[in-house]
Each structure stands twice: as structure tokens, then as C-alpha cells.
Structure 1
Amino acid sequence: MSTGREPIEPAKTIRDIFDAAEVDGYLHVRDLDGDDEVDYRADAPVVLASVFKIPIALEYARQAASGRLDRAGRHLVTDADKEGDGIGTDGCMHDVEMSARDLAYMMMTMSDNAATDVVLGLVGRKNVRATLDELGCHATSVTGCKELFASVMSDLGIDRDAADADEQLAQVTPDRLRTLAVRDPEHTASTTPREITKLLAAIWRDEAGPAEACAEVREIMGRQIWPHRLSCTFGDEIRVSGKTGTLWGVRNEAGVVEYPDGKRYAVGVFLRSESMGFRLPRADAAIGLAARAAIDHLRA
């Protein structure tokens, strides 16, 4: 017997959220303890931006758990690793010495680019690639942060070592920024929303390596400091573990949402915006709103 009120398809709700924020969006949400999912353009290639740090963190944790890498081993972050105006050690004026674990922590919780490049150097890019292939994540790739920004400077014809490099970058027009290779999934670190939730599912199910390694990645991701995207629509009683990604016109977050009743959902939301600004509150909020809409549909 029909009530006359048919349930709204999640795709329409999600599309309306993205349209209201004036973004082009891609989403995949999966129930980690069942087969249910919400798919909104989930097989399209998307730019990872700093979400690529998740597989690097996983490789770090796998090597630490197997004894190949000493978590407490000390490593120096020098000017050679820094862009000089970033977050965490990347913005420090002087050399910084940290343990491998704490570098991975800085990489994931605050998206420290210099720490990322040191960790990637420790674990080896070929090993990250091998782990992704082992887990069936063939469409997911990583890069180094300095390598990524060197590509930007090359595309724009700016000498990064020039005294006025930052000033030159600040004066680049939005139209030129839209042509950057780092905004094209075919020319930078990329994935699909479905594949990133597959990777998260393997981590949360202890299938991505030793249980100790998976638990360490979960613990670190649960301490991310950015509350303005995925977690913005969930109360304190709901645990949200995530990793953001940001570039010109790119807003992403991938993570896992865990409810008090034990239900868990892997989420990947990837947005493209015509605006090249770095403060896009409506786009940031759309990530949380779309994820919430998808999870509410699954929970219903």
C-alpha cells in the first residue's frame, strides 16, 4: 500500500547539495559491515590532493608493524624538504627533528607537506605502489609534495627560488590556475571515490596489513584537526576520522564515520569549484552535508 510519499533518491539530494554550493561533486559511501552503498559518479577519476597521504600513512604503519621501520627513529626535516610557508614543520624557520611516528602524525593530522615528503622517502614510493596494487587499488596514485608544487611553478613559469616567487604566484589569474596539471586526474595523484572507500574499508576491517598497522592508521586519522568538512554535520557522539585534500578549485575529504550503535561508513567526497580561492565555506560544508545525506539514506 502506497503512502503517497515515495523516498527521495539520495542522488537527487546529493546533486542538490552540490548545486547549492556551486561545485561539481563525486561521492561514494559504503557500509563497512554490509554491502549497501551510495554512488554519485563514484567511478570517475578525481584529483586526490592531500588525500594521497592515506596510502603513505598505511605503508608507514605496515613497515613499523613488521619491524622494517623504527617508529622512534629520529629524522631531520630540513629546508630541502620544505616549501617554507606551509603548515607544521613545513613552515618552521629552522630544521626540525622528529620520530618517524610523529612525522606520520603531522602528515595526517594537519597535512604537513614537509613531513609527508620525509615519510615518503623513508617508506619508498615503490613500496606504496606495491601495497596499493596488493589491495586492488590500481587507480590510486601518490606523489611527493615538493614534486607537486614544482609542477605548479613549472606550469606557471615561475622560478621557485626567486625572491619574489610567492608574490608572482599570488598574482596569477584564476584562468591560468585552472590550466594547472595538478587539477587534472590524468597528470597528478588521483583515484576514484569508490576506490578510496575500498582502501578505507580495508584499513577499518584490518585487511590492509597487520591489525597493528591498521589500528595505528585509524588512530592517527581520528586525530585530524580540521572540523570544517566531513565532520561538520555530525555530533560529538559520532566518531569521524578523515583526511582532507585542497588545491586550487579542489576540495576533498575521505574518511570513516562511526556511530554509537556500531555502524561504520567509509566516505569519499571530491569537489571541483570554478572559484580558485582557498576559503570556500559553502564547498567545505557541502562535503559534510553530502556525506550525511548518503549515510542517513543507508541508515534509513
Structure 2
Amino acid sequence: MKIAYFIIILLTSTMQLLAQTGASSKLKTAIQAKLNSVEGELAVAFKDLQTGQTLFINEKDNFHAASTMKTPVMIEVFKQAKTGKFKLSDSIVLKNEFKSIVDGSPFSLDISDDSADDMYKKIGQKMTIYDLTYQMTIVSSNLATNILIDLVDAKNANATMRTLGANDIEVLRGVEDSKAFKLGMNNTVTAYDLMLIFEKLAQKTVVSTADSESMIEILLDQKFRDVIPAKLPKDVKVAHKTGSITGVQNDSGIIYLPDGRKYVLVLLSRKLKDEKKGVEALAEVSRMIYDSLQH
């Protein structure tokens, strides 16, 4: 009887696994078809944090990070605060002069290229490190980003990514360092590595439980909602960080379902001929993954 019971359990488990794999294969095919409708190169990394189910497309390819690199910078800020290098409540005078990583020559940010132009009215005034981190994340302030990178050093953010298992994220520099850009010295990410760091944030193992919770609270206030959250129901919460430059539309984060389940999704793109179509397709992919979890 015990042997028969064991066989039944084994067969049931195998059938469930095959069914899940089949569903995952069908979903991946549908998502690939959606991505193929867009002229450009795209990547997907998805992980269900309850079942461990994953879905990957071009997940190890290097993409221009755009502003998704601001999540590693935020993590480094919280890490250094935890070690006592400064307090998040400490203040910094806002400046708009930075040094190129190529030769140390000075450069300034163009207000017209920054989504958070209100920050420029505060140059010469003080802001707390926490408020700079908040502005860097929720409205993607380039000015706040460069000030914080000067504070924590991009190399340290990169090293911290390695301790989290994100071996291919490259945080090299701040924003709008044109000399570095011309030499191809850019911040890059993979969908897989971004998935890893958001998974660890969701598990509240980044820096500390309290720090992970604080970072998630910031990410939940994200103001740019055109990709992952765009087609999801209003009661679904998304803690995420976007990134966009010409031909690039990225989004990465944790999705919290009303029933308590959560998953991580990263959507990256490059060489988009029509960015509007690219955003629409990526938002559709986000909805397809959400729908697949409703059965």
C-alpha cells in the first residue's frame, strides 16, 4: 500500500510539474510573439517568489542601464549609512558640477534633460541624503543621482552588486558624462541581475530587514508607471525603478498581488525604432505574466 501511495504521489507531482512547464512554455511562446511585434531588442526575467517558477528571454544579455542603475546606487547609500559613514538624515549642499570618469574634467547637467527639474531651483541649498535618494528613485533625478554617486562612489555600488550575486551589473559613472559616453563607458545591466537584486529586496535581505523595507517603500512611490504597472489592476502594488533614454525603455521591480503573493519582473529594451510601441508591448507582457498567475 505504501509503495502504491508513493507512486500516486510521484505521478501527481510529475503531472503538476509537466502542466506547469507546459503552461510556462506556452506563456513564453506568447510573450516572444509579442516581443517580435516590436522592432528592437528586448529581454525578460520573471520569477514567482512563491513557486520559484521563472521565465527568461535574453536574460544574460547586457543592456544600457539608463536609470535602472539608480537602484544599485540606492542600495549602496543605505549600506554605507548602515556602516556609519553617514546618516540618511545628514544634509548635503546641492551642486551641479561633477567630474568625468575619463579625465576628471568638470561637467554639468542640463536641466532640460532631467525629469526632476525642480531640483535645480535648490542648487546651493541643502537636502538630506534620504530626500536625495527619494528624488533619485521616484522621479529619477539625475542631479540627485550624481550627488549621491559622488558621496558613495560608483565602484562601491558595483562591488556591493557582486556581494548580492549580481555579477554582470556595471555601475561605472553618474549621468550625462558625455566623454565617457563617447568612449562607450556606460552603466549596463542584465535582466537576470536586476531580478536577483529585486528578489533579495523582496526577501528583505538587502542591508537589513528594516533597510529593505525602507527601500521598498521608496520604490512603491515610483511616479513613472508606463510599463510594468500600466495594464495591471489598481489593487496590484508595484515597487519598481524605470529607465529610459533614446531607443531604451526599461522597468524592473517587485509586484505585490492582493492575496499576498509576489513576483519579480524585469523588462529591458534597446534599439527601439518606435518607443511608444515598445512601451505598449512591454506593458502587455507585464499583463500577460499577471494573467498567467490568476488561474
- TM-score range, shorter-chain basis? 0.7 to 0.9
1:101 to 92, 112, 130: 130
Aligned twin of 1:48: 65
1:67 to 74, 81, 84: 84
Aligned twin of 1:282: 277
Aligned twin of 2:237: 239
Report Cα offsets for 1:211-262 as digits up to 9, x if no partner.
1111111011100101111110112100011111112211111111110111
Give runs of aligned pairs for residues 105-184 of structure 1, distance below 5 A: 105-146=134-175, 148-152=177-181, 154=182, 181=184
Q: Quick check: 2:155–2:172 contact (8 Å CA) kept in 1?
A: no
Distance of 1:216 and 1:197 partners within structure 2: 19
Report Cα offsets for 1:41-89 as digits up to 9, x if no partner.
2122222111011011011122233433211111122221541222225
CA shift for structure 1 position 147: 5.4
Q: Quick check: 2:173–2:187 contact (8 Å CA) kept in 1?
A: no
Q: Quick check: 2:42–2:267 contact (8 Å CA) kept in 1?
A: yes
Confirm whether residue 35 of structure 1 aligns to residue 61 of structure 2.
no
Q: TM-score, normalised by structure 1?
A: 0.80
> Comparing 242-251 with 67-76, which one deviates more in the overlay?
67-76
Q: Quick check: 2:48–2:264 contact (8 Å CA) kept in 1?
A: yes
**Is the alpha carbon distance of 1:121 and 1:89 closer, same or farther for their aligned partners in structure 2, counting shifts above 3 Å?**
farther
Aligned twin of 1:92: 120
1:260 to 258, 261, 265: 258
**Is the alpha carbon distance of 1:146 and 1:210 closer, same or farther for their aligned partners in structure 2, counting shifts above 3 Å?**
same
- How many aligned positions are there? 262
Q: 5+ unaligned residues in a row in structure 2: which ranges?
A: 1-21, 99-107
Q: TM-score, normalised by structure 2?
A: 0.81
Aligned twin of 2:8: none
Q: Quick check: 1:116–1:144 contact (8 Å CA) kept in 2?
A: no
SS across alignment from 1:262: coil
SS across alignment from 2:230: helix
Q: Letter of the 1:140 partner, please give it.
A: I
Aligned twin of 1:160: none
Distance of 1:33 and 1:67 partners within structure 2: 35
> Comparing 289-298 with 137-146, which one deviates more in the overlay?
289-298
CA shift for structure 1 position 90: 7.5
1:22 to 39, 48, 58: 39
Distance of 1:149 and 1:298 partners within structure 2: 43
Give runs of aligned pairs for residues 180-259 of structure 1, distance below 5 A: 181=184, 187-259=185-257
**Is the alpha carbon distance of 1:259 and 1:55 closer, same or farther for their aligned partners in structure 2, counting shifts above 3 Å?**
same
CA shift for structure 1 position 94: 5.4
2:27 to 1, 5, 10: 10
Q: 5+ unaligned residues in a row in structure 1: which ranges?
A: 1-5, 156-180, 182-186
**Is the alpha carbon distance of 1:297 and 1:108 closer, same or farther for their aligned partners in structure 2, counting shifts above 3 Å?**
same
Q: Quick check: 2:95–2:147 contact (8 Å CA) kept in 1?
A: no
Query: Which contiguous aligned blocks of 4+ residues in structure 1 show a shift greater than 6 angstroms?
Result: none
Confirm whether residue 80 of structure 1 aligns to residue 106 of structure 2.
no
